[in-house]
Amino acid sequence: ASEAAGPVFAAHARCDLDAAKVLVADPSRVAMVQCAPAVRVTLAEEFGLAPGSLTPGKLAAGLRRLGFAVVYDTTFAADVTVMEESAELLARIAEGGRLPLFTSCCPAWVRHVETAWPELTPHLSSCKSPQQMAGALFKSYAASLDGFDPAAVASVSVMPCTAKKHEAARPELRSGPAALADVDAVVTVTELAAWLKEAGIDFAALPGEPFDAPLGRYSGAGVIFGATGGVMEAALRTAVALCGEGRETAGPESGIVFTPAGPGVARAEFELAGNKLAAVTVSGLANVGPLLEAVAAGTADFQFMEVMCCPGGCVAGGGTPKLLPGVDVAAAVAARRQALGNHDRALPVRAAHANPAVTELYAAFLERPLSHRSHELLHTVYGGAAKGGHD
Ligand code: SF4
């Protein structure tokens, strides 16, 4: 939408803009913010730039101008999600755990499994989504690094997704001895654009600034979470490396090629830890039905499945700018995806396990993926089986 057209919010979604403004203005709180990978390739459209304009530096600068004390990045937490989820996949394979493993970073997908296929909830990864992992780390690791009281941290996220607001309110997604909410307010891309305009910030003219360290340091693996297939590729980059397969010859990508296997579905077959495996990615909730029927019937011939409810992934999320009449939506979403791919390829570190900030997080705080502390902060039980049920 152009600036003159004003913000267009999803009509059914709660707006958290006022709540976020109150948190930022409260002198007793330390306002920490994170922004999802897709935000950096969608926000600029609200300011008249072309779909797919990549603006991470302006995004960080704009959030600082709005008053956030610490500007972190969900993309760092996406790298942490890769570490935890790839370890979970390898553990389930080694220990005969429930397979196929379903990704759990899309809250609308998680909710679909819980409500329409409750018997399949054990297939969901126990990993919290990157948004929730980042929030849990804000109020533990990040707070301790800077000497803040965890309860004083105000955790705000900027998301391409309206479902993330409901995810943040789930009782299972609280952490620490005081069961603090991981995320206190979720602002969509269109809401952030409205806030910037209201504050008189000329987004297009902002200089590029870095995100704050260490939770603002990210790899290309975290970046591609924003598009369909990206979570899978990011996890496989690390799983392949951790298994030592092809380590000598491997490039920055997993080398595992997915090919179309039906509407919105892609599939690959490969070997991992001596096991012949198959994985599928699903773009668009409407396309997952036959695969879930196969899982329920015990006939699924794959071990790992990524599902993103929005066709194309988060770059097409309900909180992203609405495209103007006459704009080719498919081409615009493709441009956003392409921009994330270009960003991944241009980064010096492209795998989560090679991100020095992630390595330091494990060395200094978490110890290792799936550790006791990781389970306390970064994992949950979906389906209402623990921690008081779901919303
Ligand atoms: Fe949200 Fe859509 Fe991304 Fe799922 S795919 S997390 S519903 S934006």
**Cβ–ligand 1 contact at 280 (below 6 Å):** no
Q: Please, which residues have CB within 8 angstroms of residue 361's CB and are 6 or more apart in sequence?
A: 80, 137, 141, 214
Compute the chain's Rg from CA coordinates. 20
pLDDT tens readout for residues 22-55: 999 999 999 999 999 999 999 999 999 999 999 9
Q: Where do the H-state alpha helices sit in 279-318?
A: 289-297
Percent of the chain with pLDDT over 90: 86
Average pLDDT, the chain: 92
DSSP string, 249-273: T--SS--PPPEE-STTEEEEEEEET
Q: Does pLDDT of 12 surpass 90?
A: no
For ligand 1, whether the C-beta of 52 sits within 6 Å is no
* pLDDT above 80 for 104: yes
- Three-state DSSP state, 334: helix
| Residues assigned a catalytic role | 85, 88, 105, 125, 164, 167, 172, 314
The answer, yes or no, to whether residue 185 has pLDDT greater than 70, is yes
Can you tell me the distance from the alpha carbon of 249 to that of 218, in angstroms, rounded to the nearest whole number?
A: 24
Q: pLDDT at residue 2 above 50?
A: no
State the average pLDDT over residues 253-275: 94
| Residue 145, domain member (yes or no) | yes
In a domain, 4, yes or no: no
**Inter-CA distances, 380 with 50, 104, 385, Å:** 39, 10, 10
Q: How confident is the model at residue 385 (pLDDT cuts 50, 70, 90)?
A: very low
Ligand 1 centroid, distance to 351 Cα (angstroms): 22
pLDDT at 250 over 90: no
Is the C-beta atom of 308 inside 6 A of ligand 1? yes
107 Cα to the center of ligand 1, angstroms: 7
Asked if residue 106 has its Cβ within 6 Å of ligand 1, the reply is: yes
Please report the pLDDT score of residue 246 as a whole number: 53
Distance 369 CA to ligand 1 centre (A): 25
Query: Is residue 88, in this structure, part of any structural domain at all?
Result: yes
> For ligand 1, what atom is nearest to the CA of residue 320?
8
Would you say the CB of residue 108 lies under 6 angstroms from ligand 1? yes
Question: Looking at 62-66, 163-167, 234-238, 321-325, which range is the least confident one?
Answer: 321-325
Q: In what order do the strands lie in the sheet with 304-308?
A: 101-102, 304-308, 275-283, 265-272, 259-260
Q: Is residue 319 part of a domain?
A: no
Question: Would residue 5 count as lying in a domain?
Answer: no
Report whether residue 181 contacts ligand 1, using a CB cutoff of 6 Å: no
Q: Work out the number of other CB atoms within 10 angstroms of the CB of residue 55.
A: 23
DSSP state for residue 347 in the 8-state scheme: S
Ligand 1 atom with least separation from CA of 129: 6
- For ligand 1, whether the C-beta of 354 sits within 6 Å is no
Q: What is the pLDDT of residue 328?
A: 86
The tally of domains found in the chain comes to 1
Whether residue 155 contacts residue 139, with contact meaning beta carbons closer than 8 Å, is answered with: yes
Q: Residue 301 above 90 pLDDT? A: yes
Please state the pTM of the whole predicted model. Answer: 0.94
Which CATH number do you get for residue 90?
Answer: 3.40.50.1780
Residue span of the structural domain in which 93 resides: 17-313+329-378
Q: Residue 292 pLDDT more than 50?
A: yes
Contact (CB, 8 A) for 56 and 10: no
Predicted local distance difference test score (pLDDT) of residue 377: 98
Strands 30-35 and 70-71: parallel
Residue 383 lies in a domain: no
Comparison of pLDDT for 229 and 384, the residue scoring more: 229
Residue nearest (by alpha carbon) to ligand 1 atom 1: 161
What is the pLDDT, as a whole number, of residue 5? 43
* Rounded distance from Cα 128 to ligand 1 centre (Å): 14
Q: How much is the pLDDT for 113?
A: 98
Min mean pLDDT across 178-192, 229-243, 284-298 is at 229-243
Residue 164 Cα to ligand 1 middle (Å): 8
H or E element in which residue 308 lies: strand 304-308
pLDDT band at 298 (very low <50, low <70, confident <90, very high): very high
CA distances from 265 to 161, 225, 259, 316 (A): 21, 17, 8, 17
CA 271 – ligand 1 centroid, Å: 29
What is the pLDDT confidence band of residue 13, given thresholds at 50, 70 and 90? low
Which residue has its alpha carbon closest to ligand 1 atom 3? Answer: 314
Helix, strand, or coil here: 184? coil
Instruction: Say yes or no: CB of residue 37 within 6 Å of ligand 1.
Output: no
ipTM above 0.85, yes or no: yes
pLDDT of amino acid 366: 98
- Closest protein CA for atom 6 of ligand 1: 106
The DSSP string of 236-251 is HHHHHHHTTTTTTT--
Is any atom of ligand 1 closer than 6 Å to the C-beta of 309?
Answer: yes
Is residue 212 over pLDDT 60? Answer: yes
> Has residue 35 been placed in a domain?
yes
Looking at ligand 1, which residue's alpha carbon is closest to its atom 4?
106
DSSP annotation of 379: B
Percent of the chain at pLDDT exceeding 70 = 93
In a domain, 242, yes or no: yes
Atom of ligand 1 nearest to the CA of 109: 4
